[in-house]
Structure 1
Amino acid sequence: MSLLERVGTLLRANINDLIEKAEDPEKLAKQLVLDMENQLLQVKTQVAIAIADQHLLQKKFKEHEEAMNQWNRKAELAVQKQQDDLARAALERSISQQQLAQGFTQQLEDQTAEVETLRTAFDRLQQKLQETRATAEMLIAQHRRARTVGKANAARTIAANHQTTATLNRLRSTIQRKEATNMAGHMILEAESIEDRLTTLDREDQIDRLLEELKSRQPRLPQ
């Protein structure tokens, strides 16, 4: 079971009902809080990993973008020296770096969405943990009063708290959106671009056009 699935199961649990029916409500309440703290720590770790991957993708994108610009400058220099073969080779390298940069752009967009989803899940889980602690404390106190005085209305008061259920429903929607985002992200990353083959066909034409543009920008020599 994945981390988010475990978190979803935990968030969907009716804390009031679990504690009310437990043989040892105080022990169960403490265990629920401990489980949620552990899950929160794991989600926090996943957020940190996702952010690190995002920074790495940004670095790779900038590297290929800068390499593309460098090859363009080399192509201009080759044209100035009337070295068309070198200019064409430099433009070839520039196009390759541009394609790599574009590939990292798509991955970076997907990773940014992943980071945002994980951050949202972390914030919601953190809020849920605070509410669970308060609810557990309240339910434990009510259980002790009911056990001491033997009044049934204490148990009815525990069951009357619907705030946790509403919060669980909101957090369940967050988990479902996360699952949908993951599925879409995998489909995008696994899809093969059929445009690569078409790009190869017109690459020479693109290089010729870029070469002519570079030549057209060079100052004419006096006759």
Structure 2
Amino acid sequence: MALLDRVSTLLRANLNDLVEKAEDPERMLKQVVLDMENQLMQVKTQVAIAIADQHLLEKKKAEHEQQAAEWRRKAELAVQKGQDDLARAALERALSQDQLQIGFTTQSEDQKHEADNLRQALHKLEQKLTETRAHCEMLIAEHRRARVIGRAAKAQHVVGNDQESTIGRMKSKVHVTAAENAAATEVLTPESLEDKFRALESQDKVELMLKEIKSRQPAQ
């Protein structure tokens, strides 16, 4: 049956795989539950129809069984009355009813098998629906939590980058300002007495080094 094939497909469905492939996992999960609920209602309807058909076939089987027994009783009565031709006709009717009874017995057994399959499918689908609802709720909550965490991480990353960029600009500005201040201090600060003596000493050293170089030169 196509219905049982659809039910079997739903029972084999792997929610985790579906979630990974879905563009909108929440919508997909809700649709899966809705599909299962719809299939469950259809299976319930089919189970009721199958059971009703089974009862009808069993009733027909019992009716033909009773009619076959009645024609046999009539055949016995005809034999008792010495009417063999009438007895033969009654027995033919009994055999015809036997064939109908056998046919309805086969149909009833087949219908019972189908009804049992539908009952099992209904039971499995009810269990699967209960599990799927719980699983879907868990996956939806997990998906929402992942989205919130993702947004928070993204926001933190953006804020962190902005902060680092701002701090970097401030550090650079501070370094430039410090250098400028140092240069201005060096230029504007008056030369001290110690600085003057160091300058004289430096000049003396330069003169001595110059004389030493000249002394090593050959006489002209």
TM interval, short-chain normalised: 0.5 to 0.7
Structure 2 Cα separation of the partners of residues 24 and 102 of structure 1: 56
Shift of 1:9: 2.4
CA RMSD of superposed structures (Å): 1.7
Structure 2 Cα separation of the partners of residues 90 and 5 of structure 1: 48
Q: Which has the higher contact order (CA 8 A, sep 6+)?
A: 1
Structure 2 Cα separation of the partners of residues 78 and 84 of structure 1: 6
Residue 82 in structure 1 maps to residue 108 in structure 2: no
Paired residue type of 2:17: D
* Residue 168 of structure 2: aligned partner: none
SS of the residue corresponding to residue 82 of structure 2 reads coil
Shift of 1:11: 2.4
Shift of 1:54: 0.8
Paired residue type of 1:105: T
- 1:133-183 deviations in whole A, cap 9, x for unaligned? 0000011111111111239xxxxxxxxxxxxxxxxxxxxxxxxxxxxxxxx
Shift of 1:63: 1.0
Residue 29 in structure 1 maps to residue 29 in structure 2: yes
Residue 41 in structure 1 maps to residue 36 in structure 2: no
Paired residue type of 1:87: A
Shift of 1:20: 3.9
- 1:92-136 deviations in whole A, cap 9, x for unaligned? 111111121112111111111111111101110111000000000
SS of the residue corresponding to residue 76 of structure 2 reads helix
Structure 1 Cα separation of the partners of residues 92 and 101 of structure 2: 14
Shift of 1:52: 1.5
Structure 2 Cα separation of the partners of residues 22 and 92 of structure 1: 68
Shift of 1:10: 2.3
* Residue 105 of structure 1: aligned partner: 105
SS of the residue corresponding to residue 23 of structure 1 reads coil
Relative to the length of structure 2, the TM-score reads 0.64
Paired residue type of 2:112: T
Shift of 1:61: 0.4
* Residue 136 of structure 1: aligned partner: 136
SS of the residue corresponding to residue 150 of structure 1 reads helix
SS of the residue corresponding to residue 91 of structure 1 reads helix
Contact 2:71/2:90 (8 A) holds in 1 = yes
Shift of 1:67: 0.5
* Residue 121 of structure 2: aligned partner: 121
Paired residue type of 1:143: H
Q: State the percentage of identical aligned residues.
A: 71
Structure 1 segments (4+ residues) deviating >6 Å: none
Which structure 1 residue ranges, 5 or more long, are not aligned?
152-223
* Residue 3 of structure 1: aligned partner: 3
Paired residue type of 2:147: R
Structure 1 Cα separation of the partners of residues 23 and 87 of structure 2: 80
- 1:46-77 deviations in whole A, cap 9, x for unaligned? 11121121111101101110101111111121
Structure 2 Cα separation of the partners of residues 132 and 113 of structure 1: 28
* Residue 150 of structure 1: aligned partner: 150
